[in-house]
Structure 1
Amino acid sequence: MYPELPDIEPYESQLAFETFPTVGLTKTYCINGQIADSSCTATAYLCGVKANRGTIGLSGAVPRYDWAASLQEAARLSSIAAWALDDGRGAGIVTTTRVTHASPAGAFAKVANRHWENNAEILKDNQDPNLCSDIAQQLVHSYPGNRFKVILGGGRREFLPISILDEEGTAGRRTDGRNLIEEWQADKRARNVTYNYVWNRNQLMNIIEPLPEYLLGLFEGDHLPYHLEADSATEPSLAELTEFAIRSLSRNEKGFFLFVEGGRIDHAHHDNLAELALDETLEMSAAVARAAELLSEDDSLIVVTADHAHVMTLNGYSPRGTDILGPSNDRDEAGVPYMTLSYSNGPGFRPHINGTRADVTTEPNYRRVEWMSHVDVPLESETHGGEDVAVFARGPQHAMFAGLYEQSQLPHLMAYAACIGPGLHACSAAATQLLTPALLAATTYSILLKIYILFE
């Protein structure tokens, strides 16, 4: 007799992007680092060039903090969002982090330090904010950010002066006295376009047709809260933000580029909060599913990937059906249990007593969402991992995303499919000469391609 099998339905289910027909792998290292941070990776997957750690939208010729080098035109990069705008298409960003955080900033900013989100941060590094604009100011006043039709996320504090408390009591961080939210609104009035600024879910959901030409939604002073800790009555979900952005950008008949980030996956990992990290991944999957429902596979390319790995590991020899968030069906040599999901480093370290590990399953807050999984090396914050990360693709030219390649190839592959930006295009005469008849027929709709991309 065979042993009775546990319920395997959870093991057979798939995240929305795991159903996509093509999967590949990208190499995420930075020019000057074996293991990447989110700024050099954002530059790679949004601007198509590998960069130094800590820099955004700048080539490897610019070291971190070197504002003078960042002003050299040859070192300043253009993003795929700008390529879309240059071709008359729409562009926007959606994130669960601050909209000035490293990953979304890769779509619009050119800055020598990822932390220069407001002018005060530039002053802290003894630099002149009049010579190197901070990230929030670039989003409001510089191309391409000032032409983004949709900006949805957190980070009100980066736009407000220290003398102002935002709608929920968070103090601004700017020391230049500027209110960039008001300046964003003034810019749209001066251009005689329709616009809306919203700061909570109710305001967003009550925007009536016709939708404004420009929408700025800043839903928190800092990052958006974790889904499991959020008030769903006041906090929009990532899927809701994604749907609203697609509805808004879809009015452009030529198509659009949209960047969507489930950025709090990363933050949960840094704090060794495995349950929150997994739930945020489910939220990103829900956003992908919503996008797939709204966008036709015939003319919309959806690419899903991560900017880098983390050092969480799945370990032990537990049988199927074991709670993934619980202890492994195994113990160490001293008989102490260990978690199936654990981290190689981070703040979840517990001191050993007489050479024996602590039994984390006896802790008072064990298995609450704020409970930290155990780690091997104590650090204030868990580090990123250096492994290759997966890329999932669906839509026109999706097969190009198979294989193993540099992360900086991603925007060029998307631009090829969409017929935007520099380089060869799928709809160009030079490209069609290289294609088989079947692939040639598949390129006829590429000129109207909509691009949708999600990142961790």
Structure 2
Amino acid sequence: MKKPVQAALCLGSVVLAATGCSSRGAETTVGSSSAALAQAGDPYFQTGQDTLQRIMAQQPNTNHAKNVILFVADGMGFPTITATRILEGQQRGVDGESNVLTFESFPYLAASKTYSADGQVSDSSPTAVAMVTGVKTNNGVMAVSHNVAEEDCRASLDNGAVTTIFEMAQAAGLATGVVSTARLTHATPGATYSHSPSRDWESDADMPPEAIEMGCKDIASSLIETPNGHGFDVAMGGGRANFLPETAADPEDEGKTGKRTDNRDLTREWQDRNDNAVFVWNQQQFDAIDPATTGPVLGLFEMSHMKYSVDREKDKGGEPSLSEMTSKAIDILQAKAGDEGFILLVEAGRVDHALHEGNAARALNDAIAFDRAIKTATQKVDLDETLIVVTADHGHTLTISGYPERGNPILGLASWKGEPLLGDDGKPYTTLGFANGPGAMKDGVRADLTNVDTTDVDFLQQSLVPLASETHGGEDLGIYAIGPWSHLFQGTVEQNYIFHVMDHASGISQRAAGAAK
């Protein structure tokens, strides 16, 4: 394939390409009118000029951040963002390549280094801990320092805990919330309130007896046994089984019971803590919540993780979308916060799960649902006083490759001028693929995709290294921000820096310290 011809521009004294273009006598300056340039009428050139003017007009917002919303799409690296942008546009019948997702329009962007204290590639627990506590820790642990090894209960109890920004906010009198499409006891939401040496200790049934005897808590019980008043004002996601005893029938899934072996019904304990506290598990109950009078609210819509976005309508009891949960959570928090403000975590947890399965279609559709939740939030809050941060915890091995033509279906076969592009084995390939995962070749032979509908929601993209579950990636990620002090997100930063900007903008740690005096 021919390489594109590189165009040359001379702007002022800057020579941008060696084509004989001289700066001598040039009067055009960067940022000035480009009407004299031959390409001034080109739409791409004009888009560049418009972007320049928009960025030059930006003014930092140094207001106090009354509210903070941290959006995390689990596993959403840059390739996933690009593919999501294209698919979202193509689903709407517009140009996917030039499409702009809601969070991509935010004015400030930084790159996040995601390694953990002991890992070149992280899992979701230390990355979440970094964002909500300001320190890096080890793979596999929840809100404890890097001095605590995984599953070391004693070390976690001996001054191993680190305080989360949500705990600080609760101590300072702010309203707090956590929303996820994963289990509420999973790595990212769990890191906001649990100080466990193992991310896998989601219920007491998951813990070794000696850890229970020492006094370590399972993650679900940590949500209930909060040291700060009633704790969260709203907590919604999946993971019902970790809150119900094994003797209790699940309200939705016939024949199934909870997991807990200690006979505790944590959903009942949640309701008993406050006269207005409620537990909901289906769409009808969710819709009936009155944010002005109800709360704290615990919503557990599945025994395990919530449904993927494309499968949500099949749920027996019905379950709200991520956008609906975000909207309801903001309404509840605004009603409870008064003048104090609130902090909210919203996680699209199942982007990660679909990528582990090598299933790009479900991953991208969940990422689209994530972007819709962000749009909902921007429409419900005052951005002059609300800091919104959008990021991910880690990436994955998804790739976008080949030479497909503009407008080619992002989930389809890589094609040029309507003809599939072929590998050296004479077989077509998809634009999206994985470096490892379940879609690898069998017996050294790659499957022929000629008559396969690769846009089907159940299709698994091909991968290079065979693994039952595709792995995380260790690349840097994007941090997109808007609102007070969002301009502090610049350059390449450590992932734990996210906490420090949120805290600086809101003053939460100082307010918590003041409340403790």
TM range (shorter): 0.7 to 0.9
Shift of 1:338: 1.2
Task: State the shift of 1:235 in Å.
Answer: 1.5
1:88 aligns with 2:173: yes
Q: Which residue of 2 aligns with 1:357?
A: 446
Residues 344 and 422 (structure 1 numbering): CA distance in 2 closer, same or farther, change over 3 Å?
farther
Q: Tell whether the 8 Å contact from 1:108 to 1:145 is kept in structure 2 after alignment.
A: no
Q: Look up the match of 2:122.
A: 36
| Aligned-partner SS, 1:345 | strand
TM alignment of 1:224-235, pairs within 5 A: 224-231=306-313, 234-235=318-319
Of the three residues 293, 303, 306, the one matched with 2:389 is 303
Match of 1:334 in 2: 425
**What aligned pairs does 1:17-416 form with structure 2 within 5 A after superposition?**
17-73=103-159, 75-123=160-208, 127-128=211-212, 131-143=215-227, 146-169=230-253, 170-188=256-274, 193-208=275-290, 210-231=292-313, 234-251=318-335, 252=337, 253-329=339-415, 330-352=421-443, 356-363=445-452, 366-416=454-504
* 1:366, distance to aligned residue in structure 2 (A): 4.4
Query: 1:62-106 deviations in whole A, cap 9, x for unaligned?
Result: 000100000012x21011111222221111100000100000011
TM-score by length of 2: 0.76
Displacement of 1:128 in angstroms is 2.6
For residues 157-207 of structure 1, what are the alpha-carbon distances to aligned partners after superposition, in whole Å with 9 as ceiling and x for unaligned?
00111122211123211111111111111222xxxx411111111111112
| Equivalent position SS for 1:10 | coil
Per-residue deviation, residues 316-366 of structure 1 (Å, max 9, x unmatched): 0111111110111322112111110000111122314xx542213435x74
Worse-superposed segment, 166-175 or 114-123: 166-175
Q: Helix, strand or coil for the counterpart of 1:338?
A: coil
Structure 2 Cα separation of the partners of residues 150 and 279 of structure 1: 25
Contact 2:427–2:450 (8 Å) recurs in 1? no
> Aligned equivalents of 1:208 and 1:101: distance in 2?
27
Query: 3-state DSSP class of the match of 2:270?
Result: helix
Q: Give the letter aligned to residue 137 of structure 1.
A: S
Equivalence for 2:47? none
Distance change (3 Å), C-alpha of 1:366 and 1:250: same
Cα separation, partners in 2 of 1:339 and 1:88, compared to 1, 3 Å: same
C-alpha deviation, 1:127, in angstroms: 3.2
Higher-Rg member (1/2): 2
Q: Per the alignment, in what secondary structure is the counterpart of residue 234 of structure 1?
A: coil
Q: Flag the 1:127–1:85 CA change in 2: closer, same or farther, 3 A.
A: closer
Structure 1 range deviating more: 395-404 or 193-202: 193-202
Q: Is the CA contact (8 Å cut-off) linking 2:125 and 2:142 kept in structure 1?
A: yes
Poorly superposed stretches of 4+, deviation over 6 Å: none
Decide whether the 8 Å contact of 1:28 with 1:388 is kept in 2. Answer: yes
Structure 2: runs of 5 or more not aligned:
1-89, 416-420
Alpha-carbon distance in 2 for matches of 1:138, 1:350: 44
Q: 2:194 touches 2:219 (CA, 8 Å); kept in 1? A: yes
Question: Which residue in the other structure is 2:54 paired with?
Answer: none
How many residues align? The count is 411
1:11 aligns with 97
Higher mean alpha-carbon deviation, 272-281 vs 156-165, is at 156-165
Offset of 1:130 from its aligned partner? 5.8
SS of residue paired to 1:70: helix
Conserved 8 A contact 1:80-1:421: yes
Q: Out of 100-109 and 77-86, give the one that drifted further.
A: 77-86
Counterpart of 1:383, as a letter, is T
Alpha-carbon deviation of 1:27? 0.4
CA distance in 2, matches of 1:246, 1:116: 29
What amino acid is the match of 2:300? L
Write the distance in 1 (CA, Å) between the matches of 2:229 and 2:325.
18
Secondary structure at the counterpart of residue 313 of structure 1 = strand
Partners of 1:284 and 1:211 in 2: how far apart? 28
Amino acid of the structure 2 residue aligned with 1:344: A
Mark the CA change 1:131 to 1:156 in structure 2 (over 3 Å): closer, same or farther: same
Gap change, CA 1:209 and 1:157, over 3 Å in 2: closer
Higher alpha-carbon deviation: 128-137 or 297-306: 128-137
CA distance in 2, matches of 1:305, 1:388: 11
Distance across 2 between alignment mates of 1:387 and 1:225: 28
CA contact (8 A) 1:242 1:290 kept: yes
Q: Aligned partners of 2:250 and 2:214: how far apart in 1?
A: 25
Contact 2:413 2:454 in 1 (8 A): no
Whether the 8 Å contact between 1:139 and 1:146 is mirrored in structure 2 is no
Can you list the C-alpha shifts for 1:243-269, whole angstroms capped at 9, x where unaligned?
Answer: 000001012121000000000000000
Distance in 1 (alpha carbons) for counterparts of 2:486 and 2:221: 36
User: Secondary structure of 1:339's match?
Assistant: coil
Q: Structure 1: 5+ residue runs without aligned partners?
A: 1-5, 429-456
For the aligned residue pairs, the C-alpha RMSD in angstroms reads 2.0
Helix, strand or coil for the counterpart of 2:97?
A: helix
Counterpart contact for 1:138–1:145, Cα < 8 Å: no
